[in-house]
Amino acid sequence: IALTQSPGTLSLSPGERATLFCRASQSVGSGYLAWYQHKPGQSPRLLIFGASNRATGIPDRFSGSVSGTDFTRFTLTISRLEPEDFALYYCQHYGGSPSRFTFGPGTRVDFK
Amino acid sequence: EVQLVESGGGLVQPGGSLRLSCVTSGFTFSRNDMNWVRQAPGKGLEWLSYISSGSETIYYADSVQGRFTISRDNAKNSLYLQMSSLRADDTAMYYCVREVPQADYWGQGTLVTVSS
């Protein structure tokens, strides 16, 4: 499964809504799609797993969803951007074989 | 508190070898599958290798197959990556990652630089 993400860069201001897209080349079985936030000098942080489940400690301004019934189109929404949300975001398919994790190329959310 | 702490990175010449370690705590290591993931400078995340909880199943990415070897010692709560025939394009931050099956915990990473 190959993942593409759009847009490549999203330029927004604090308080605005961010919508990030992830498209899979084929159906992601069991909804095994996750989203990560990655900041410079830090390790990636799990935000969403199972396409729509928030990880422990993740604020409810982060939400994940899947469009349609073919499990190929996924969305990460940040309802109101906080200053600490400006970062790189990756979608990931997990549970594959033999490749356990497949990552998208990332979407950068930066200050307008 | 779950912790994964990598070590063993550094500067190595092309063709050289290096062994990365990841010491874990705060969870039952022997019950969890583990992975190594890397990020080269200016690039995205790349999965490298997987090992099941009891070491029965091991997978590698094509980019490291035959050069890297993953292993674990459940008695020491530790994960390893033996890297050989290193190339310049192996320069990256290497992360130890717990799989549950999503990648829920990552170490802070250890930097490997392959250069003459």
Per-residue pLDDT tens over the stretch B68-88: 999 999 999 999 999 999 999
pLDDT recorded at residue A67: 86
Amino acid at A46: L
pLDDT recorded at residue B107: 97
Cβ of B101 within 8 Å of Cβ of A102? The answer is no
Cα B27 to Cα A8: distance, rounded to the nearest angstrom: 36
User: At A101, is the pLDDT very low, low, confident or very high (cuts 50, 70, 90)?
Assistant: very high
Write out the residues of chain A at the interface with chain B, using a CB-CB cutoff of 8 A.
32, 34, 36, 38, 42-46, 49-50, 55, 90, 92, 94-95, 97-106
From chain B, the residues in CB contact with A2 under 8 A are none
Cβ of A103 within 8 Å of Cβ of B44? The answer is yes
From chain B, the residues in CB contact with A104 under 8 A are 44
State the average pLDDT over residues B20-31. Answer: 97
Residues 36-75 of B with CB under 8 A from A: 37, 44-47, 50, 59-61
pLDDT recorded at residue A39: 95
Cα A63 to Cα B68: distance, rounded to the nearest angstrom: 37
Per-residue pLDDT tens digits for A2-42? 999 999 999 999 999 999 999 999 988 778 999 999 999 99
To the nearest whole angstrom, how far is the Cα of B69 from the nearest Cα of chain A? 15
From chain B, the residues in CB contact with A101 under 8 A are 35, 37, 45, 47, 97, 103
Per-residue pLDDT tens digits for A81-95? 999 999 999 999 998
Per-residue pLDDT tens digits for B88-106? 999 999 999 999 999 999 9
pLDDT recorded at residue A98: 85
State the average pLDDT over residues B13-27. Answer: 98
To the nearest whole angstrom, how far is the Cα of A79 from the nearest Cα of chain B? 23
To the nearest whole angstrom, how far is the Cα of B72 from the nearest Cα of chain A? 17
Cα B21 to Cα B70: distance, rounded to the nearest angstrom: 10
From residue B107, alpha-carbon distances to A13, B22, B53, B59, B113 in Å are: 31, 8, 18, 20, 18
